[in-house]
Amino acid sequence: MFDPDTDLVKRAGAGDRAAAQALMARHLPKMLSLARRMLGSQSEAEDAVQDAFLKLWTHAARWTPGKAKFETWLYRVTMNKCYDRLRKRPAANLEEAADVPDPAPRADRALETADMSAEIEAALAALPERQRAAIVLCHHQERGNVEAAEILGVSVEALESLLARGRRALRSRLAHLRDG
């Protein structure tokens, strides 16, 4: 197994600071990215990676080429440093956990939303076909006016007129939702 870091690790193990710096330059961005995703904090990630590179400096002389690639070993060390930090985080007290509000919408709110959606769909279905098509293409399918006009076989001005009439009709039919 070819490992491009073998020579640098041997030199770092012998105390060569330039070799250690070269290893850091090569692997630091990947290790920081890993730690940031694991820990969710830039400063904690930097601390964990610093600990991993400190371990590299102190253990490089004992690293045995051929067992695993150096980069694999460094990933493992970095992961372990992240696990250590995650384990040291204070666990939530059960009494405090009971006071955390449920982020899910309340059941009555979900029913209101479903009823509102049904009313909007009914109002949309009641529009004349071409107005409904214009609204659906532009608002639900996110097509631009030029593309929607092309699909409907009308001019952009005609599409804009269909949209304006459709929106007015929807506003009128759904005014009670805005008032409530």
Nearest-angstrom CA–CA distance, 23 and 11: 10
CATH number where 150 lies: 1.10.10.10
Neighbours of 105 (CB within 10 A): 11
User: Do the domain assignments include residue 1?
Assistant: no
Given a contact cutoff of 8 angstroms between Cβ atoms, the answer to whether 135 and 163 are in contact is yes
pLDDT per residue over 96-136, tens digit each? 555 556 666 666 666 666 777 788 878 887 888 888 888 87
DSSP 103: -
* Domains contained in the chain, number: 2
- Spatial CA neighbour of 70 closest among 148, 114, 7, 113: 7
Q: Is the pTM of this model over 0.75?
A: no
User: 3-class DSSP state for residue 115?
Assistant: helix
Residues 10 and 84 in one domain: yes
Nearest-angstrom CA–CA distance, 62 and 133: 71
Residues 130 and 59 in one domain: no
pLDDT per residue over 72-101, tens digit each? 788 888 888 988 998 887 765 555 555 556
Residues 114 and 66 in one domain: no
DSSP string, 62-113: G--TTTS-HHHHHHHHHHHHHHHHHHHSPPPPHHHHHTSPP-SPPHHHHHHH
User: Do the domain assignments include residue 82?
Assistant: yes
Given a contact cutoff of 8 angstroms between Cβ atoms, the answer to whether 50 and 85 are in contact is no
Range of the domain at 111: 107-179
CATH number where 55 lies: 1.10.1740.10
Given a contact cutoff of 8 angstroms between Cβ atoms, the answer to whether 174 and 142 are in contact is no
DSSP 60: G
Nearest-angstrom CA–CA distance, 167 and 164: 5
Dihedrals phi, psi of 167, to nearest 5 degrees: -65, -40
User: Do the domain assignments include residue 12?
Assistant: yes
pLDDT per residue over 12-70, tens digit each? 888 889 988 998 999 999 889 888 888 888 999 999 999 998 888 888 777 777 777 78
Work out the angle at residue 148's Cα, subtended by the Cα atoms of residues 143 and 154, and round it to the nearest 5 degrees.
Answer: 170
Nearest-angstrom CA–CA distance, 138 and 161: 13
